[in-house]
Amino acid sequence: MKGSHFYMLLDYRQNMFLSFEFGFLLQINEEAALAAALNDYLTSRSYLAGFSPSQADQKAFKLLRRPPDPQHVHALRWFRHIKFEYLNLPSGKLQLPLIRVQPAWSPPAGTEVPQLRLYNSLTRSKELFVPQKGNKVTWYCCGPTVYDASHMGHARSYISFDILRRILRDYFKYDVLYCMNITDIDDKIIKRARQNFLLEQYKEKKPQAAQILQDVLSAREPFQAHLAATTDPDKKQMLERLDAAVTAALQPLQAAMDSKAAAEVVQPLAQVLLENSKDLLSDWLDKQFGSEVTENSIFSTLPKYWEGEYHKDMDDLNVLPPDVLTRVSEYVPEIVDFVKKIVANGYGYESNGSVYFNTSKFDGNPQHSYAKLVPEAVGDQKALQEGEGDLSISADRLSEKKSPNDFALWKASKPGEPSWDSPWGKGRPGWHIECSAMAGSVLGESMDIHGGGFDLRFPHHDNELAQAEAFFENDYWVRYFLHTGHLTIAGCKMSKSLKNFITIKDALAKNTARQLRLAFLMHSWKDTLDYSSNTMESAVQYEKFMNEFFLNVKDILRAPTDLTGRFEKWEVEEMELNNSFYDRKFAIHEALCDNVDTRTVMEEMRVLVGQSNTYIASRKNAKLRPNRLLVESIAVYLTNMLKIFGAIEESASIGFPVGGQSQNLESTVMPYLSVLSEFREGVRKIAREQKVMELLQMCDVVRDETLPELGVRLEDHEGQPTVLKLVDKETLLKEREEKTKVRRRRRKRLLSKLQKLDTSEGMAKLEKMKVSPCEMFRKETDKYSQFDETGFPTHDAEGKELSKGLAKKLRKLYEAQEKLHNEYLQMNQNGN
């Protein structure tokens, strides 16, 4: 009954007294016994339920003619509640006092909350992400084969996975264990180490020009035969470039030797030929003498050096180091044990000291399936042989397999190759087994995520899956397989083996790590990304756009205010911006849940900044301050998102930090710059009032020439405080250079116009340019009676305040004169 409050023995929300489980109490006639039984009953039950008393309450109360004894605490409390809070009418019925109660509450319907879905290569669709063990995510990523410099193709994978890892860890708050390998035993490493070693030995012998020419011609014959037989267009193009470089160096040397030129002419030409031919010459030397190399240290020295370079590159790119790093050379015993168990489970066989995986036996087991990722690639011998390695596809090696689709788990070492002991004799691990054994050792029988480049799907990742599931006898070694898209240069795949690559160091010489990361963020992690000047220019402009917003917000927040002044009334404009802020945040969350769609996220952030800029500009145009807390909350949110993405390295509260990680340059220097800016503004005001143009010019020199050299930008706004910004010095110098070019072009056009005018017209134009905007209206005393400190009229001749329409019209004339006068000052300053 609405508006009343009751007590009763039980909560009769359902069935009321129909399920009267304590009805036995009413059968007790003796009052003392009833009080004792009632007390026992109430000891373990609630008798304050908040609903109407039942008939049982009323009957029990009538049976007790007096309060229960004090030792019956619960029964006594119940009796008092009934007696003193309800009125006992003569009719014998309880009447309820009119005490208001809370109305019934119902929860809101709510809306559907987006959930994280990832594109899983195992299903080729977006799947709901569900870690196997609560909030913990186990993740393995294929690392580099370290035999050369890391290039932007590697950066495509490692930056993309770094972004994904940071978002899962810092945005979705998963507890991520990230494991990555270093492949330091591989056919490519062995071959490159031997080639480098043999080529160095060749150079140390200091061969004469004739010997170099003869050896290059000998090496060129098998090279050109290989070129003629190559059908892959990308590889053929790469080989043709090498051949063209050799031809370009051959011709001058041959011509010099035919003309019997002096040794000081011939030998430098021979060195050029040697440099241009080093790839085909080193390959020729390896085929002749590679099996004779016994210097085993070269097989560890080369990968150790390039692993160090790789880690330096990742540090420079702000890529987080893995939680666990595994090197093949450190896991050989575990790899041997892994192969032994695969053989014991019936999925591997030994042949001539090597061990191969039996794909037919594995695929024939109902529990297993071979090539889960790319089943249509089964039987692709070209891909399979590339996976086996150049040193492992000779006719004798291929004949050791039961099926062409089988692949090596353990390779018997040949002369000139490093080796380790095993039950099958001296040998070394196959490429695919390395990841299965190392990831299995660290992450166990099943992991949440496995990542790698798109081109690793088959055969590498399919073979990894087969090996691991053969070892663990399961079919769920990897739950989610993530593959990053290719990186191309002008549409061509970037590849080390194709010698079509830009090293990470070269890329960082052109753009910053932040700009590279922004470029990746502006594209889907799973799609192909074309690395080009247009791509990078878009990233540079995005960075500039965001940075200007951050600098403007910092300037707003530097304006002095007291504690209460920070809190300002929200008008319609603030409500609109805040509503948009929440809409953008929700859209960003939806995008991140949708396969971590950073491309959409970056666009939503751009829209939010654009709306914020419009709001700030409208407030300033109205001579009003933007709402500090609102613009600050937007800037902090955007900063935090960029931190999560790894685009901001330091602990700056807003925007891109200035200075090194060891110091917050902005907080250190800004107080001094603020003093300088205020002093300069005071000087400018006096110079305008006293008409001291030289002082105004000096103030402009400080703004345009001196401070940019220190990485400081001053922005003067008419009628408003000067804006201070710390900006990268190189950026400011480029801006200054561009402005200088624009001014020169403008002066040139103006002088040309003046020269074309009659003398009288030209002089009149020049005289008009000389007039300062501060003075142009002061002379018109018949129209205006009051002016502000800049000389802009505020009242008409009769003392009335100017209308908004007239003021707007006069402002345009004022600004046009200001441009003219500035051009005159520049011409004068440059001696024109």
Report the pLDDT value the prediction gives residue 513, as an integer from 0 to 100. 96
Taking CA atoms, 796 is separated from 683, 772, 782, 793, in Å, by 29, 21, 8, 8
Q: What is the pLDDT of residues 560-601, one digit of tens each?
A: 777 787 888 999 999 999 999 999 999 999 999 999 999 999
Q: Which residue has the higher pLDDT, 290 or 4?
A: 290
Residue 653 has pLDDT above 90, yes or no: no
Q: What is the pLDDT of residues 277-315, one digit of tens each?
A: 999 999 999 999 999 998 889 999 999 999 999 999 999
Mean pLDDT lowest among 89-98, 406-415, 484-493, 750-759: 89-98
How far apart (Å, rounded) are the C-alpha atoms in residues 328 and 308?
A: 16
Q: Which residue has the higher pLDDT, 67 or 193?
A: 193
Say whether 293 sits in a helix, a strand or coil.
Answer: coil
* Average pLDDT value for residue range 22-51: 74
Taking CA atoms, 389 is separated from 144, 163, 191, 360, 384, in Å, by 15, 31, 10, 22, 9
Report the pLDDT value the prediction gives residue 743, as an integer from 0 to 100. 75
Q: What is the pLDDT of residues 149-171, one digit of tens each?
A: 999 999 999 999 999 999 999 99
How far apart (Å, rounded) are the C-alpha atoms in residues 686 and 427?
A: 86
Residue 88 has pLDDT above 70, yes or no: no
Q: Which residue has the higher pLDDT, 476 or 827?
A: 476
Average pLDDT, the chain: 87
Q: What is the pLDDT of residues 402-440, one digit of tens each?
A: 999 999 999 999 999 999 999 999 999 999 999 999 999
Cis peptide before 459 (omega within 30 of 0): yes
Report the pLDDT value the prediction gives residue 510, as an integer from 0 to 100. 95
Residue 766 has pLDDT above 70, yes or no: yes
Whole-structure pTM value: 0.75
Say whether 530 sits in a helix, a strand or coil.
Answer: strand
Report the pLDDT value the prediction gives residue 14, as an integer from 0 to 100. 34
* Average pLDDT value for residue range 206-231: 94
How far apart (Å, rounded) are the C-alpha atoms in residues 705 and 698?
A: 10
Percent of the chain with pLDDT over 70: 89
Q: What is the pLDDT of residues 676-704, one digit of tens each?
A: 888 988 888 888 888 888 888 888 889 88
Mean pLDDT lowest among 41-50, 594-603, 775-784: 41-50
Q: What is the pLDDT of residues 94-131, one digit of tens each?
A: 454 445 667 788 889 988 999 999 999 999 999 999 99
Angle, helices 533-558 vs 665-690, to 10°: value is: 70
- Residue among 467, 193, 212 nearest 340 (CA): 467
Report the pLDDT value the prediction gives residue 677, as an integer from 0 to 100. 86
Residue 219 has pLDDT above 50, yes or no: yes
Taking CA atoms, 378 is separated from 54, 373, 571, 657, in Å, by 77, 10, 66, 51
Q: Which residue has the higher pLDDT, 667 or 382?
A: 382
- Residue among 197, 156, 177, 440 nearest 296 (CA): 197
Report the pLDDT value the prediction gives residue 144, as an integer from 0 to 100. 97
Q: Taking the mean position of all CA atoms in its chain, how far away is CA 57?
A: 67
* Average pLDDT value for residue range 743-756: 71
Residue 15 has pLDDT above 50, yes or no: no
Residue 50 has pLDDT above 50, yes or no: no
Report the pLDDT value the prediction gives residue 390, as an integer from 0 to 100. 83
- In this structure, how many other beta carbons lie within 10 angstroms of the beta carbon of residue 343? 21
* Average pLDDT value for residue range 776-792: 86
Residue 234 has pLDDT above 50, yes or no: yes
How far apart (Å, rounded) are the C-alpha atoms in residues 286 and 194?
A: 7
Asked whether the beta carbons of 36 and 20 are under 8 A apart, the reply is no
How far apart (Å, rounded) are the C-alpha atoms in residues 503 and 92?
A: 97
Report the pLDDT value the prediction gives residue 20, as an integer from 0 to 100. 39
CA atoms in the 13 A half-sphere facing the CB of 434: 27
Q: What is the pLDDT of residues 333-368, one digit of tens each?
A: 999 999 999 999 999 999 999 999 999 999 999 999
DSSP class of residue 491 equals: T
Say whether 184 sits in a helix, a strand or coil.
Answer: coil
- The amino acid at 643: K
- Phi, then psi, of 101 in degrees rounded to 5: -125, 165
Asked whether the beta carbons of 522 and 598 are under 8 A apart, the reply is yes
* Average pLDDT value for residue range 370-396: 90
DSSP class of residue 127 equals: E
Q: What is the pLDDT of residues 592-647, one digit of tens each?
A: 999 999 999 999 999 999 999 999 999 988 888 999 999 999 999 999 999 999 99
